[in-house]
Structure 1
Amino acid sequence: MSTGDGPDLVALVGSRIAHDLISPLGAIGNGVELLELTGLDTPEIGLIADSVASANARIRLFRIAFGAAHPGATVPAREIAALTAPTPGARVAVDWQVPGDVARGPAKLALLALMCCESAMPRGGRITVTASGDAWQVSADAPRLAPDPALFAALTDPDTPADITPAQVHFALIGPEARAQGRRLAAQACETALVLTF
C-alpha cells in the first residue's frame, strides 16, 4: 500500500517496530532456555517461556502483515510455519496449506485477512489458508462467528470507518493493500463460516 507518491510510512513504521522488537524477544527466549538447562524449571519459567513464544510468533506475523512488502520479496516456508504454529493458550488454530516459499505481497494480504477472521471469532475456531494459482482464500470455521458488519463492509469500501480502533486496524489496511497489488478482495459470511478471497 502506498501513500500517494511518497513512501508507505505505515508499512515502514510496522517494519521498524517489528525489527526492533524481534531481537530482544529472542534474547529473552534464549535466557529462559538457559535457565531451564540449569534445572530451574518452575511453573513461572514455563509461563515466561510460553509468553515469549506467543509474543515472538505475533511480532513476526505483524512484521509481514503491517510491514513493507517489496516487489520480488518472498517469505520462507519455515517462517510461515513458525508464525502459524500453535502457541500456548491460542484460541484460533491456523491451517496454512500453501506449500513452499510465498511472495511477500499475497502473504501480507493473507495475514491481514487472517487477522480480520480472528476478530470475528470470539470463541476461537480454525482458519484455513489456501491458494490456487494466483487466487488466495482465507476461510474461518467456528462454533459461532460475530463479524462486525461495518468492519467487513470496509474490506471492499475505499472509505475507512472513522471510528476504527487500534485492534481493528487490519480492516483499514487490507482493502488499500489489495488494490495496490491489483487484486479484488471479496468476503462472504454466515453464522459459522467466513471466507475472504483475493
Structure 2
Amino acid sequence: MTVHEDPIRAAAASGIAPHRAPELGPDQAPDLVALAGSRMAHDLNNPIGAIANGVELLGLTGQAEGPELALITESVENARRRIKGFRIAFGAAAPGQTVSAEDIRALTAPGPDGRRIEIDWPVTGPVPRQEAKAVFLALMCLESALAWGGRVAVRAASDGWRIVASAERMRVDPGLWHILEGGPVPADLPPNAVHFALFARELAKRPRPVAITGSDTAIEIGF
C-alpha cells in the first residue's frame, strides 16, 4: 500500500515554510461575480467562434446557400456581439485595461438582432474598462425602459458620464430604478433585471452620487 505524505506537514518538518496566499481585506477580495461573468463569456465565445468559422467555410465551398445559411450567419453574429457586450458589462475590469473605440462602435451599432434602439456614442479613443463596464450596465438599464424602441445618447463629461434615453413611451419600474439610488435589492429580483443591482454596485464605488431624472418620454442618468 502506498502512503501519500501530507505535503504541508512534510514542508514544516523540513523547516521550509509552506506557501500561504496573503489574506485580503473586504475591499481587496476578488469580485467573484465579475470573474464568473468573464469565465462564462470566454467559454461561450469559443464554440460560437467555431460555428462562425464553419458557416464561413460552408459559404466559401458553396455546399450551403440560401436563406437558411444567412439566418445562421446572422444568429451567430448576434450571439457573438451579445456575449462581447455581456463580458464588458458583467466581466472583470482590472485597472489599466481599456476597451477600444472600434469595439465600442461595433457593439453599439445597429446589428442583425433587429434592435430598435439607436445608440449615439461618439467615442474616439480607448475607454478605461471600468468606465465602459459602468456605461454598458447603464445602457442595459435604459434598454429595459425602451421596450418599444428609442434613442440613447452617451456623453463623457469632465466629472463622469451623462446618458440620456428618449422615446415616445417608456416602461419604467420605479422599484428597479430605486435600486440605483441606494434602495434595497428585492429578494425576488428577476434575472432579466440583474443589471440594475450590478450597476448599483458599480455606482457605489464612485465618488460622485448618481443623478437620475425622468419624464414620460426621457430618462437621464448622470454619474
Do the structures match in fold with TM over 0.5?
A: yes
**1:109 partner letter:** A
Query: 1:60 & 1:86 partners in 2: Cα distance?
Result: 15
Task: Report the residue type matching 1:141 in the other structure.
Answer: S
Report if the CA contact (8 A) 2:118-2:151 is conserved.
yes
**Mean CA deviation greater in 165-174 or 93-102:** 93-102
Is the Cα contact below 8 Å between 1:175 and 1:185 reproduced in 2?
no
Higher RCO structure, 1 or 2 (CA under 8 Å, sep 6+): 1
Stretches of structure 2 that go unaligned for 5 or more consecutive residues are: 1-24
Mapping 1:99-114, distance limit 5 Å: 99-114=124-139
**TM-score (structure 1 length as normaliser):** 0.92
Residues 21-75 of structure 1: CA distance to partner in whole angstroms, max 9, x if unpaired? Answer: 1122122112222222233321111111111111111111110100111112111
Aligned residue among 129, 133, 147 for 2:158: 133
Residue pairs, 1:37-186, within 5 angstroms: 37-39=60-62, 40-88=64-112, 89-186=114-211
CA contact (8 A) 1:3 1:9 kept: no
The 1:50–1:162 alpha-carbon spacing in structure 2 relative to 1, beyond 3 Å, is same
Q: TM-score, normalised by structure 2?
A: 0.83
CA contact (8 A) 2:140 2:195 kept: yes
SS for the counterpart of 1:49 is helix
Structure 2 residue corresponding to 1:7, chosen from 10, 30, 34: 30
Maintained 8 Å contact 1:25/1:56:
yes
Residue 93 of structure 1: SS of its match in structure 2? Answer: strand
> Secondary structure at 1:47's aligned position in 2?
helix
**Superposition deviation, residue 181 in structure 1:** 3.5
Do the aligned partners of 1:69 and 1:108 also contact (CA within 8 Å) in 2? yes
User: Which moves more between the two structures, 167-176 or 24-33?
Assistant: 24-33
Shift of 1:158: 4.9
Which residue identity does 2:85 align to in structure 1?
A: L
Amino acid at match of 1:62: F
Q: Which moved more, 1:180-189 or 1:117-126?
A: 180-189
